[in-house]
Amino acid sequence: MSEDERTRMREDFARRAEGWRLLEEERRRRPDLVSLPEAMQQLAGSFRYSLTLPPRQTSGFVVFYRALARKSPLGTDRGPARATSNGTAAPDCSNGTLRRATRHLGSSTDMRCMAICLLGAVLLGCGYKSEDKKSALSPMDRFYALGDMAKDSFNAGRIEEARKDAQELMSVLPRFKDNWNYGNAIQDSNLVLGRIALREGRLDEAKRYLIEAGKSPGSPQMDSFGPNMSLAKDLLEKGERDVVLRYFELCRKFWEMGHGRLDRWSLEVKSGKIPAFGANLRY
């Protein structure tokens, strides 16, 4: 990948991250937005998932118009969600649900732009369970998706599914060393397997996974917004400060923009506190 391509990709992710920041700020300003309906959570999840994909797949307005091309205009209700291939009801993505969700977005231009991007992402994926999406992916697209799917499965309590996806992602890493997503995949596979190990009482193994995650060479996202700190937080809750401080130092090599934050977090950890990692628990 050329430096120009890497720069464009980083700028693209930065724009989308700024949109997410605006959404979070609007929610803080408006107390009535704190309790979002399930539909809005689905929209937000789709937007976060888009951050893991190549820019050519994630332009909000491109996705939006592709959704319209599939005859899913915002003014027309798609009707109830259809069943998936295994007979399980898919999420309700009818336009009525989406309209109800957008009422919680506020009226600012920024928020309306965010709504368009989020609605487009959901409309494009309506009616499919994550298992259906994963089985239909090409090897490269599967490589892009496995990390996010493993994290989502872990957060939903589907531990064996998370373990399987993370192990598969780790097994294909050698095939994608020159891919822009390589650093994300190193982080995500080790992150999920480490959290599983900690959950199952294998503390030393979890610590090794954290260090391996810190050996990631970085990525457009990680270079700009930093690494995922969920395993680090889990270990801090177990009193494991030294390994987390070592992890912070490893992250400095790719997260040059975050040196100030790493300095602050290091001081807090040394004083016995658990930092408020904020969005770095979601990336």
Q: Mind listing the pLDDT tens digit for each residue in 194-216?
A: 999 999 999 999 999 999 999 99
Beta bridge mates, 83: 89
CATH T-level fold of 137-281: 1.25.40
DSSP class of residue 104 equals T
Q: Mind listing the pLDDT tens digit for each residue in 101-146?
A: 444 444 444 444 555 555 544 444 443 344 544 554 688 888 988 9
Q: Mind listing the pLDDT tens digit for each residue in 33-61?
A: 433 334 444 444 444 444 454 544 444 43
What gap in Å lies between CA 274 and CA 233, rounded to an integer? 7
What gap in Å lies between CA 78 and CA 74, rounded to an integer? 9
Question: Cα torsion for 75, 78, 80, 86, to the nearest 10°?
Answer: -150
The answer to whether the CB of 106 falls within 8 A of the CB of 26 is: yes
Q: Mind listing the pLDDT tens digit for each residue in 247-276?
A: 999 999 999 889 999 999 999 999 999 999
Whether this prediction's pTM lies above 0.75 is answered by: no
- In the chain, what are the domain boundaries? 3-128, 137-281
